[in-house]
Amino acid sequence: MRPFKSTISIEEARERLRTGVRPIARTEELPIGAAAGRVAAADLASTLFVPPFSRSAMDGYAVLAEDTRGASRERPARLRIVERVYTGAPPQHGVTPGACAEIATGAPLPEGADAVIMVEETARVDHDHVAICAEGRPGQNIGRKGADIAPGDIVVRRGDLLNPSRLGALAAVGCAHVEVFARPRVAILSTGNEVIEPGTPLGPGQIYDVNRFTLSAVVEAQGGIAEMHTPARDTLEALNEALDACAQADVIIFSGGSSVGDRDLLVDLVATRGQMIFHGVAVRPGKPTMFARVGDTPFFGMPGNPTSCLSNAYILLVPFLRATARLPLYAPRTVSATLGRTIVSPANRHQFYTVTLHGTVALPAFKGSGDITSLSQADGYIEIPASEHTVEEGSSVEVTLF
């Protein structure tokens, strides 16, 4: 065995990862219907007014406000209806003193009208006349041309996340396609002679590949494209070939082979093909986590144990992936809870301890680094700093939800 020469703190690991991010530069053009959740790669300015015409904001009557002065239920103003204006068709007549137009919400405002009285404040007299029972003021219930967007206004800026409202703004100015940053391609591969494909019979000493699927799910949820490769055996030749096969990706993630056993060849191989940035983080679970550059490509060596691998994927990999994809900062939801059982934490290791929530009580869920149910049956985790050894039952804790 070759013990770790040193480990770094979780804070130092995060800082080295932060400075190691190179945001994706490739772009592509997408229909706006396929661009939800993507990041705009260029400013987009409007070439038109929104709304493109003045329109009614209510069902009611387009009037001259002066004609309604002093109008009330007791003393309504009687106006002549000159036309009925609906959406999708321009008015045929203007509104003159003593006249009005029945109008639908969103319909173009007739020339001359300067207010809309909503239908609830009117009473029909006959087919051609209406009683206005409330005083109107100029501009009332009218959406003016260009009140929302004018030509030259920036609708979406480079780096904006295309959420529903921004996609709506693009549609409002007639934009059918938008330039976005490409999703980073992330190569994912598990290593180990014992790792085989799910669905095949297990032989003696063999286990199914878990990490490839958990990591792929993380990558897809955080703005990347997961490119899954078949497991590689623990030989220099096989690992070299695996690295070559992943060379075109924007990020490479291997799991297993990053510890300190005699057969953990990956550490030495990566060091010969690139720059080792760190190997070993003072956390539990997930101590044997590695970050390097192979050629010019960021490389993560994740622990082989499923819980360690997925835990550090949440803690270290996710912020790196989101920054690479130019997505907003990772901000998981947290809740306050009361610890239902005392937890003893190893000395000098920052621990991410999984818990289940039962109302406002958090109960320990962690079993071991190799037990995937430590995460699959947990609701989230609490952090226990390296300086703390025991968290007592009844303590108030902050639970970060998965």
Provide the CATH number for the domain around residue 60: 2.170.190.11
Tokens describing residue 147: 């009140």
Q: Which of 181, 207, 227 is where one domain is finished?
A: 181
Cα–Cα distance measured from residue 202 to residue 42, given in angstroms and rounded to the nearest whole number: 51
Examine the domain organization and report whether 308 and 203 are in the same domain.
Answer: yes
Residues 161, 213, single domain; the answer is: no
Residue 85 shares a structural domain with residue 107:
yes
pLDDT over 70 percentage in the chain: 96
**Structural domain of 95:** 55-143
Cα torsion angle, 101, 107, 110, 113, sign: positive
Is residue 255 within 8 Å of 311, Cβ to Cβ?
no
Specify if 329 maps to a domain: no
pLDDT at 75: 96
Average pLDDT value for the chain: 92
- Which residue type sits at 55? R
- When comparing pLDDT for 367 and 341, which is higher? 341
Last residue of a domain, one of 324, 348, 371: 324
254 and 191 Cβ atoms separated by less than 8 Å: yes
pLDDT digit string (tens) for 217-257? 999 999 999 999 999 998 899 999 999 999 999 999 999 87
Residue 4 in domain: no
Model confidence pLDDT, tens digit, residues 30-67: 999 999 999 999 999 999 999 999 999 999 999 999 99
307 occurs within a structural domain? yes
- Per the domain annotation, does 213 fall within a domain? yes
- CATH of residue 357's domain is 2.40.340.10
Residue 1 forms part of a structural domain? no
Number of domains present in the structure of the chain: 4
Model confidence at 330: pLDDT above 90: no
Q: How confident is the model at residue 1 (pLDDT cuts 50, 70, 90)?
A: very low
Residues 35 and 71 reside in one and the same domain: no
- Give ∠ CA 320-161-319 in degrees, rounded to 5: 15
Range of lowest pLDDT (107-121, 132-146, 186-200, 344-358): 344-358
In this structure, the answer to whether residues 269 and 204 fall within a common structural domain is yes
Same domain, 228 and 307: yes
Task: Return the pLDDT at 5.
Answer: 63
pLDDT tens-digit map of 265-298: 888 899 899 999 999 999 988 888 999 999 999 9
In degrees and rounded to multiples of 5, residue 93 shows phi and psi of -135, 150
- Per-residue model confidence (pLDDT) at position 346: 81
Same domain, 172 and 241: no
Give burial (CB, 10 Å; 0-12/13-18/19+) of 55: buried
208 inside domain: yes
Entry pTM: 0.84
Say what the pLDDT of residue 85 is.
97
Give the end of a domain, one of 143, 172, 197.
143
Residue 244: helix, strand or coil by DSSP? Answer: helix
Q: Do both 221 and 261 map to the same domain?
A: yes
Residues 40 and 176 in one domain: yes
